[in-house]
Amino acid sequence: MKTTRHGAVLGLIAAGALLLTACGSDNNTPAGNATSATSGAAAATPVECGGKAKLNAEGSSAQKNAIDTFIQAYKAKCSGQDLAYNASGSGAGVKNFNAGQVDFGGSDSPLSKDKGEVEAATKRCQSNPAWHLPLVFGPVAIGYKLEGVKDLVVNGDVAAKIFNGTIKKWNDPAIKALNGSATLPDKDIKVVYRSDESGTTDNFQKYLKAASKGAWTQGDGKQFKGGVGEGKEKSAGVAQAVGSVDGAVTYVELSFAQDNKLSIAKIDAGQGAVELTGESVGKSIEGAKIKGEGNDLVLDLDSIYATTTAGAYPLVLATYEIVCSKGYDPDVAKAVRAFLTVAATDGQAGLADAGYAPVPKAFQDKLLTAIKAIV
């Protein structure tokens, strides 16, 4: 990992790392060390290395930089072991996991029962259920490029109307009402969206549905349904496109917005404008609840999207590693357990520098229980 690439992100997330590792925990680790709680868990958690020498995984591009961090930690912990990750997007990750072409998939959304994904995953896992393991948390930015405007505020209603084409100009009265005396140009809004199937798109549209109070009626899903704008592939593609066009706006993970020097909108959920910071992300993740059963750790994020908690940034994405609970060949199961154990412990220490937030302690404990049970 190149620490210089994400240096700007570190300042945003590092404070949140303190909050997140303490979230829901009775661990009395000194607050001065942002990774001490995670490091303590890592030191106490044995890793049984071995099995398949090179795992294959595919999916979410939102977690690509986090997976790179996990791979480095895995190779350091388990000499001779490796993992190849193809950041092809959540849709492809689910499809190829269910087809048995990769050892696990990465998705920003849970498997869909209605689309047959749950049934297909059960078949792939030799008639055993697949589990969702939320290993990566990260904020999604409403990133934009607008000359002369660096401090933009939106809310759920305005964001929905921008991304479904109802609001077409940057000086629209609804935007001006949230931005006081700011000078907004009479310029067309150019929406850029993910053209490939994306869990980021699904999460963003679910946010718009929950937070817009009826303005977003287009639904959700991994395909963008706003009916406006220009599509680009993957997180890097949309961020690069916005960075090259004045008046453009998109939804994208924080690290990609930072990499492309995009301005990031504040979000007003009813308690004042909230900047995307480590602390504001931490307040949102504190409210995340698990709605899956047993070791299937599916999160209920609806309460986050529609939060009115003061100081909470509501656009937070959780990425799942989708694994077989049972049904792997023994050498694959052993390597999958080893990689995921390292990712949930040692690997978390490097996430702040890669633009993400470490998993809360309570989540880490649940993750390790689930990982240990994979066979």
Average pLDDT of adjacent 10-residue blocks, the chain of 375 residues: 39 43 33 36 77 97 92 97 96 97 95 96 98 92 96 97 98 97 95 93 94 95 96 95 98 91 96 89 78 93 85 91 98 98 94 80 88 97
What's the DSSP call for residue 52? S
pTM beyond 0.75: the answer is: no
Q: Parallel, antiparallel, or unpaired for β 153-154 and 266-268? A: parallel
Backbone angles phi, psi at 211, to 5 degrees: -100, -10
Which pLDDT value is given to residue 125? 98
231 annotated as ligand-binding: no
Does residue 309 lie in a domain region?
A: no
Rounded to whole angstroms, what are the CA distances from 286 to 28, 76, 255, 307, 359? 17, 31, 21, 11, 11
Do 175 and 196 lie in a common domain?
yes
Q: 288 in a domain, yes or no?
A: no
- With left for phi above 0 and alpha for psi between -120 and 50, is residue 113 left, alpha or beta? alpha
Say what the pLDDT of residue 15 is: 41
Q: Is residue 306 part of a domain?
A: no
Q: Are residues 183 and 97 in the same domain?
A: no
In a domain, 267, yes or no: yes
Residues 145, 270: one domain? yes
Give the pLDDT confidence score for residue 16 in this predicted structure.
44
* Residue 84 assigned ligand-binding role: no
Judge whether 90 is annotated as a binding position: yes
The answer to whether the annotation marks 79 as part of a ligand binding site is no
Q: 325 among the known binding-site residues?
A: no
Cβ(277)–Cβ(12) under 8 Å? Answer: yes
Tally of CB atoms within 10 A around 268: 16
The reply to whether 131 and 160 lie within a common domain is no
- The residue written with tokens 């939060």 in the block is 307
Q: Verify that 153 and 233 share a domain, yes or no.
A: yes
Of 177, 169, 173, nearest to 146 by C-alpha is 169
Q: Pull the structure tokens for residue 331.
A: 């050498």
- Looking at the structure, tell me whether residues 145 and 268 fall in a common domain: yes
CB 174 within 8 A of CB 167: yes
Strands 190-194 and 248-253: parallel
For the chain, list the strands marked E by DSSP: 54-59, 82-86, 104-107, 130-145, 153-154, 190-194, 230-232, 248-253, 263-264, 266-268, 273-274, 289-290, 299-300, 316-324
- Is 200 annotated in some ligand binding site? yes
Task: Say whether 88 counts as a known binding-site residue.
Answer: no
Q: Which CATH number goes with the domain that contains 362?
A: 3.40.190.10
Both 130 and 170 in one domain: the answer is: no
The answer to whether 114 is annotated as binding is: no
User: What's the token pair of residue 58?
Assistant: 């595919």
> How many domains is the chain built from?
2
What pLDDT, on a 0 to 100 scale, did the predictor assign at position 301?
A: 82
Same domain (yes/no): 325, 263: no
Please answer whether residues 205 and 221 qualify as being in contact, where contact means their C-beta atoms are separated by less than 8 angstroms.
Answer: yes
The DSSP element (H or E) to which 332 belongs, if any, is: helix 330-344
> What is the Cα–Cα distance from 28 to 22, expressed in whole angstroms?
8
Strand partners, 191: 249
Kindly state whether residues 179 and 274 are assigned to the same domain.
Answer: yes
Query: 105 lies in a domain?
Result: yes
Looking at the structure, tell me whether residues 328 and 220 fall in a common domain. no
Within this chain, do residues 33 and 118 fall inside the same structural domain, yes or no?
A: yes
Give the domain-ending residue among 236, 255, 281. Answer: 281
Please tell me the predicted confidence (pLDDT) of residue 24: 33
- Do the domain assignments include residue 230? yes
Residues in CB range of 160: below 8 A, 6 or more apart: 166, 208, 211, 212, 215, 216
pLDDT score, position 44: 63
Q: Which domain holds residue 234?
A: 139-281
Nearest Cα neighbor of 233 from 260, 199, 196, 191 is 196
Please report whether residue 307 resides in a domain.
no
DSSP 148-175: T----EE-HHHHHHHHTTS--BTT-HHH
Domain assignment present for residue 2? The answer is: no
If asked whether residues 143 and 277 sit together in one domain, one would say: yes
